[in-house]
Amino acid sequence: MKDTERRETMRDDFAVFILTHGRADNMATAKMLKKTNYTGKIYFIIDNEDEQAERYRELFGKESVIEFDKQKAYDHTDTMDNFNNHSAIIYARNESFRIAKELGLKYFLMLDDDYRDIHFRYRDGEKLKAKNIRNMDVIFEAMIHFLDVVKEISGGGSCAIAFAQGGDFVGGVKKKSANFNKRVLRKAMNSLFCRTDCPIEFRGTMNEDVTTYTTLGSRGNLFFTICDICVLQLPTQSLAGGMTEAYLESGTYLKTFYSVMSMPSCIKVSMMYSKHRRVHHRIDWETCVPKILNPRYKKGVKSNA
């Protein structure tokens, strides 16, 4: 398909995977996709320990609900602990690549189940504003195209791209160093566009996305966040199910340490000051990932810059 052409419906080799547990009757993400006129495939990825499994099938149809064996997934996952904690999204993340392959998909998008909206973000003077998305198919097609570009330059390594989150824009846009002004960040978490032929092995019961994009990123694999679009989630721990119980039990201190254990050379424990003070990870990007140089710096190439 040429870049100037537009599809009437979403491509067949792509699907959205909503990773969910215990929230059949409170599926914010599915409502958001409908509101933004997404026309493609949606699968609800649940585990065989979910007491609401039949309710999911009743509401969304048997063909759209895919169940995996959580104990088997646990047995093949490096949880980085010996807690035998099954209340973690990491098992669904790792199983998604197997499921996508069995479904014959080339691309898929992992989403949590608590997204209330996805917005364009744009600069208006010294303010960062938001605008609703009305044609999600076009957005997903553009992200898939970018994922293909990332795959090409990655040299065959693992790769994933993601939308931004509200926390990425703390500090606004006034400073040149503000995240939004960077346009692309060397991270990918929460909403993950993936290629089935580039499997990613997530590690750690919690903070698995941070641990993954820093550990694999340090080895030259490419993970990016696009700052032009931002996911809006319901307040953390406001819904039952999902990861809420795990976070309420241990807080963010334990969550942060999974990434510290994996990458002590560039990650440390810090304090996040927002509405409520809480422990969070801090990444030293100067020592975390290899730098991507502009081609104009290639040896023997003269630059007009």
CB 246 within 8 A of CB 206: yes
- DSSP string computed for 65-125: EEEE-HHHHHHTS--SSSS-----THHHHHHHHHHHHHTT-SEEEEE-S-EEEEEEEEEET
- DSSP string computed for 136-190: HHHHHHHHHHHHHHHHHHHTT--EEEEEEEGGGGTT-SSSTTSHHHH-EES---S
State the pLDDT at residue 297. Answer: 79
State the pLDDT at residue 60. Answer: 98
Domain spans of the chain?
14-240
* Rounded Cα gap, residues 68 and 45, in angstroms: 8
Give the tens place of pLDDT for each residue, 238-288.
455 545 454 444 567 889 999 999 999 999 998 776 556 678 889 999 999
* Rounded Cα gap, residues 117 and 247, in angstroms: 23
Q: What is the pTM of this model?
A: 0.89
Could you name the CATH architecture of 14-240?
A: Alpha-Beta Complex (3.90)
Give the tens place of pLDDT for each residue, 21-71.
999 999 999 999 999 999 999 999 999 999 999 999 999 999 999 999 999
Give 249's contacts (C-beta < 8 A, 6+ positions apart): none
The whole-angstrom distance between residue 198's C-alpha and the CA centroid of its chain comes to: 15
The whole-angstrom distance between residue 183's C-alpha and the CA centroid of its chain comes to: 17
State the pLDDT at residue 249. Answer: 46
